[in-house]
Structure 1
Amino acid sequence: MKIQVLPIEIINEIAAGEILEKPANAVKELVENAIDAGSTSIKIELEEVGRNLIRVTDNGLGIPKEDLPLAIEKHATSKLNTKDLYDINYLGFRGEALHSIAVTSEMKIASCFNGDGYVIDAQTKEIKPHHIKCGTVVEVRKLFHNIPNKLRFLRSEKTELSSITELLNRLALVNPSIAFELISNGRQVLDYQATTPLKRMEQLKVLGKEFVENMIHIKHTNDGISGELFLGLPTLTQKKNNSLIFVNGRPVKDGLISSVMRHAYNDYIPKNTYPIAVVFIRIQNNDVDVNIHPNKSEVKFRDPQVIRKFLLSVTSKNLTQCSHSTSTTVANRAFERFNQLVEKQSNFHNETGSKITRNHSLYLPEERKVTVQPEECAKQFEHKTNLDFDHTQNNQEPFHFSTDPLEESLSMINNKKTPDGYPNKLPLGQQQSPSSSSLHEKQNTSFLQQQVRKTNRCEQLQDEKHFETFGKFKCQIHGTFIITETENEMIIIDQHAAHERILYEQMKNSITSPGQNLLIAEFIPLSERVVEILSLNGEKLKEIGLVVERVSHCAVMVNSLPEVFKNTPTNELIEEVASLLEEDIEPRTLLERIYANIACKRAIKANHNLTREEIEELLKLMENIPHTGQCNHGRPTHIRLPRKEIEKLFLRS
């Protein structure tokens, strides 16, 4: 076949196909035009989710009669001239949208400008007077009627309507001063009145009701960048990166901002999960390029590092300020599980002949009395819930790590007398034999004991201590969970998760120098693979104070270690570092990951009974150290159960 120039009709259809993939794209272009026209009210009407009709009505500035024919010409626009390509103040600017819609449908535009109303037929170009009194009405019928292939690839009405709804939610979110209404087949789907940004966020619930209840609202301006952020608490996460990003009023997908937000939450959320956030960025127009995607859904920043620094600073600072908070989602999940157990037990009692008395308490008849062991209840609860509090296995090989040169005998704390009525060891649960070495058990508890000695050497325990955030300590159960109460809440604390975060934060803040030279270099035999990994990452290791010299294909010499690791077995540390280096992470992140792993292995394990003094010291540290709302893996360290919700479990009014 010879090379030939395509007919203009085919060229137009190909170009239109790049802009209009589905009805939502047409709705987007028309609504963005209405926003650019200064509208304060926009109404969208659909029939068959836009395949039969899309009508967009606004109260904007309108189009003069003489401009109506140009409005449907290709690359004709009032929003851009030759000097403004990198200083764009509008959502639309290419002059392609109306032309593309006209090519693929039957379209009419009615508009009023300075009190004069006219309508143009996009196919015949005929202009007639019209009774319209304000703004513009664009009516699109039979979308894709002349491109059957497009129609074949459209999804179900439910899916297409969902796409349109999601689009309008995003546009409504970034334009709270505009009222939006969506009607589909005569049924009102959306109705948003003009309001403030915060109230619009509450109206939309685009990221769910839980997000609205568990977010931090931030406004910040610095170095020509203005940001308004709605950040979900760290214990509120998602499996996919569905956070919403807006740059200069434009909904976009941006890899830079997404990665920065994930990095800011790196210390607080589980691996393979993402934070939930809504990010609004305002920046000088000439510092961002919006003309890199047909649908204008992507942007490129002139100086990405400025954006990165701004977002990291704002996000990290505010996450620190809410460091003791956990989302209501955690408690809600717990109550869901409790309710399931209550319902199951209720059904069991009813099946065995139990009766519900007037005060709704449940009981078993004496002749059918069943004895249930606490261990069985615990197993049943563990089976029923996916709130996995036990983060470690007791048979893990520990890191041997010392945070304080004043390592002393356990006898000081074990032999310490307490006032009458306060047993030294808590009575709940049986003391269990450790599964690892006695040295490991000593290291697990010695840190808390050292803190107790520092603050309580010369004083005896008097009244119950009351902590501002965590209230009064009540008991420890199963050697794993600590129960405290405030005036209106019961709090369940996972002692391992809490201690893990405390150790991690203290390690991060205790570094005074990047590395310390060893008096005698240490020879470490390793596998060839590990030696190769260390050799390839020598410079990265130096940045964290670890100097490793390759001496053979299966051995290295360690000349310098970060000071915090001086009491950690070097071979274990090197193996740990090598495994992390395979993930190709930056030095600071590498160091933090090592801290996290060590903290996890050093922290108090489950099934380990603590004294009252140790527990109160743990609570004190939780109050004073940041980010104790979640452990290093992002799991919650505690759950707050409101008294009113607990009463509901017992059908108390």
Structure 2
Amino acid sequence: MNAPRPNMSPDLPQIRQLDDTVINRIAAGEVVERPASAVKELVENALDAGATRIEVTVSHGGKTLIRVTDDGCGIPGPDLPLALSRHATSKIDGSDLLDIRSFGFRGEALPSLGAVGRLTITSRTPGAEAHAISCTGGALGPVKPAALTSGTVVELRELFYATPARLKFLRSDRAETQAITEVVKRLAMAEPFVGFTLRDETSGEPRVTFRADAQSGDLFDALAGRLATVLGRDFAENAVRLDAEREGVHLTGYAALPTYSRGSSVAQFLFVNGRPVQDKVLIGALRGAYADYLSRDRYPAAVLFLDVDPQRVDVNVHPAKSEVRFREPGVARGLIVTGIRHALADAGHRASTTVANEVLGTFTAEQSAVPRVYQMDRPAQERAQSYSWPAPVIGQMGFAEAPAGRVDEAPQSADEAATHHPLGAARGQVHENYIIAQTEDGMVIVDQHAAHERLVYEKLKRQMAENGVAAQALLIPEIVELSPDDAATLLAHGETFARMGLALEPFGPGTIAVRETPAILGEINAEAMLRDVLDELDDIGESQLVQERIEAILSRVACHGSIRSGRRMRAEEMNALLREMEATPHSGQCNHGRPTYVELKLHDIERLFGRR
């Protein structure tokens, strides 16, 4: 602790004013962490300039070249030196930092890039001549005439050449290129009416690695088309539309069905006023919206856009502008949770189409080691014998004595009109667990236990919502000692906990008395639960722990109260289960997020047998 500090003089320290070059390099360390950060700043500038087409060209992961070309309004020649000055911007006038309606506003990106690389800006405004300016390692060059049709071209070469130590912290060219691609894709999702092109010149020949043409139509159609380009058709086909508003906050976007879940959070994209952000409140809200439909090792896929009055959100939190701070975080969180849950409920029993695709992918033709012999290649006598079919032996063909299971065929007259329903009419049961139903254009395979478990669970939840959570009074209240701040935090949410059957009362400074607990939870450790609740409140500003534990109990009760695997069902029972599934929201997945049924279209089945 008392070791001498090598960078400090033993004499009285002297305060010095750093020169602009050093200041810009320090700022660059915050604004430009890697080539992807530079691409983000330059593309955002192009969007602020009103561009409708943006082209990004990189080489060696952006380490040797980053070029961004746009057709925006351009920069007047006399203003080019000012554009490379710190804290010079056309986005705001500085009178109100809480009324920010553009991507950029700090005026740090261009001077920071010019301080650590070789930067050239060529621009032309309508009705004027084109001009160019260069900045190398912070040294500004003169403004020169240039040739350009319109818009702006920003070229950055040898990023971090002026700060070579930063190059050691960069990853491989492939990893940096992937990070740039992710940045461009996020911004492309935010601006569906703008065309984006990403090229890679590492091999010498420009190669297009990503392209998203400008969309047309209304906002939702344009966004759906852009998401299909960026995230793939599977996401677009298996996502529900979001359009909800609450207390002046508007939520739009698309959220995928629970059965279209991922193994990580790579398919979660959040935007606030069109700006890509990483916010723990919003991420926690997205997780909470799917908490009842996914297991903890699965992650939802969603693209969410929150539009809010700029006065109610602070984007000036970090130089990279990737973090925001809401004045009322509870409103934003509640809107996401309710908006997604209502949209998923409106989807009814729908399950993702990728489930059927995965099933079809497991069917592979068995490869025989014996060479294929065609009919006309056989001897005449063998061909004649091949036409006489022996009578099948009962049990040999696997029907009457199939060791793996049994098929119980439902009567064909059991309601032929049921085939017109989404889940069709039951035709049989195999292995005493799977219902086979015929639809108008295919077939459906239903896991009877998983499906009925979800139906019972939804019924229990409805009963709890209608009648409330029954509370059990403790004979001796449990006294929990906390810090005064923690106790005040819990008591501030006392009304919410009371609706869940948890009654809290103050019992002196920093002390809480737990007088009632949810009856369905049985005997619990109140102190441990309250501390877990505090951790969740500190992390995301709202706790769903008590509700999640209650719903976990309901899920367990539903599991034990549902149709068991191995039970034989009559045709009318199977059809009743199918009709109830169609009428119950979220019945497309079980309580753990797995699909309750698989639908195979007739043309897919015919393709399996080579009929198409």
Q: What is the TM-score of this pair, normalised by structure 2?
A: 0.79
CA distance in structure 2 between the aligned counterparts of 1:580 and 1:623, rounded to whole angstroms: 38
Does residue 509 (structure 1) correspond to residue 529 (structure 2)? The answer is no
Q: Does 1:351 align with 2:375?
A: no
- Counterpart in 1 of 2:70? 58
Q: 1:230, 1:336 → 2: CA distance?
A: 27
Sequence identity percentage:
38
- CA gap 1:42/1:353 in 2 versus in 1, 3 angstroms: closer
The amino acid of 2:452's aligned partner reads H
Mapped partners of 1:107, 1:47: distance in 2: 15
Write the letter of the residue equivalent to 1:187: R
Distance 2:528 2:454 in 1: 22
Q: Tell me the distance in 2 between the aligned counterparts of 1:377 and 1:297.
A: 60
- Contact in 1 for aligned 2:51/2:194 (Cα 8 Å): yes
- Which residue of the other structure, out of 305, 313, 319, is the alignment partner of 1:280? 305
State whether residues 45 and 184 of structure 1, in contact with CA within 8 Å, keep that contact through their aligned partners in structure 2: yes
- 2:233 maps to 1:209: yes
- Contact in 2 for aligned 1:54/1:141 (Cα 8 Å): yes
1:593 is matched with 552
Q: 1:51 to 1:586 in 2, by over 3 A?
A: closer
Determine the C-alpha separation between the residues in 2 that align with 1:523 and 1:133: 83
Residue 635 of structure 1, aligned match among 594, 601, 604: 594
Contact 2:65–2:158 (8 Å) recurs in 1: yes
CA distance in 2, matches of 1:336, 1:532: 57
Alignment map for 1:286-365 (pairs within 5 Å): 286-339=311-364, 343=365, 346-347=366-367, 350-351=368-369
Aligned residue identity for 2:443? M
- Counterparts of 2:197 and 2:117 in 1: how far apart (Å)? 23
Instruction: Please list the CA deviations of residues 493-534 of structure 1 after superposition, one character each: whole Å capped at 9, or x if unmatched.
Output: 01111111111111112245336689xx9999xxxxxx999x
* Corresponding position of 1:188: 208
Question: Tell me, what secondary structure is at the counterpart of 2:320?
Answer: coil
What amino acid is the match of 1:101?
L
Q: CA deviation at 1:25?
A: 1.2
Matched-pair contact (CA < 8 Å) for 2:240–2:257: yes
Pairwise CA distance, 1:578: 11
* Post-superposition offset of 1:34: 1.0
Give the alignment partner of residue 624 of structure 1, picking from 573, 577, 583.
583
Q: 2:418 aligns with which of 456, 461, 466?
A: 466
Q: Secondary structure at the match of 2:72?
A: coil
- Out of 295, 303, 310, the residue aligned to residue 270 of structure 1 is 295
Equivalent position of 1:649 in the other structure: 608
CA drift of 1:427 comes to 6.3
Tell me which of 161, 185, 194 is aligned to 1:178: 194
Aligned-CA RMSD value:
3.6
Offset from partner CA, 1:424-479 (integer Å, 9 cap, x none) = xx9649xxxxxxxxxxxxxxxxxxxxxxxxxxxxxxx9645616221111011111
Q: Does 1:484 align with 2:445?
A: no
Q: 2:265 aligns with which of 214, 225, 241?
A: 241
For structure 2, the 5+ residue unaligned runs are 1-7, 377-386, 505-514, 534-543
* Distance in 2 between residues matched to 1:353 and 1:578, nearest whole Å: 72
Q: Mean alpha-carbon deviation: is it higher for 70-79 or for 127-136? A: 127-136
3-state SS in 2 of match to 1:217: strand
Relative to 1, partners in 2 of residues 1:605 and 1:577: Cα closer, same or farther, differing over 3 Å? farther
Cα distance change, pair 516–236 in 1 and its aligned pair in 2 (3 A): closer
What SS is found at the alignment partner of 2:89?
coil
Indicate conservation of the 8 Å contact 1:515/1:560, yes or no: no
AA in 1 matched with 2:197? E
Secondary structure of the residue aligned to 1:116 is coil
Distance 1:12 1:231 in 2: 41
Give the direction of change, closer, same or farther, for the CA distance of 1:102–1:482 in structure 2 (3 Å limit).
same
In structure 2, the residue matched to 1:127 is 143
Q: What amino acid maps onto 2:128 in structure 1?
A: G
Contact in 1 for aligned 2:348/2:582 (Cα 8 Å): no
In 2, Cα distance between equivalents of 1:285 and 1:224: 11
**Residues 45-91 of structure 1: CA deviation (Å, up to 9, x unaligned):** 22323222222222211112221111111111121222121101111
CA distance in 2, matches of 1:73, 1:613: 77
Answer whether contact 1:324 1:629 (CA < 8 A) is retained.
yes
Question: 1:206 & 1:649 partners in 2: Cα distance?
Answer: 30
Moved more, 609-618 or 169-178: 609-618
Aligned-partner Cα distance in 1 for 2:526–2:294:
21
Q: CA deviation at 1:284?
A: 0.7
Instruction: Give the alignment's TM-score, normalised by structure 1.
Output: 0.74
Task: Tell me whether 47-56 or 144-153 shows the greater mean CA deviation.
Answer: 47-56
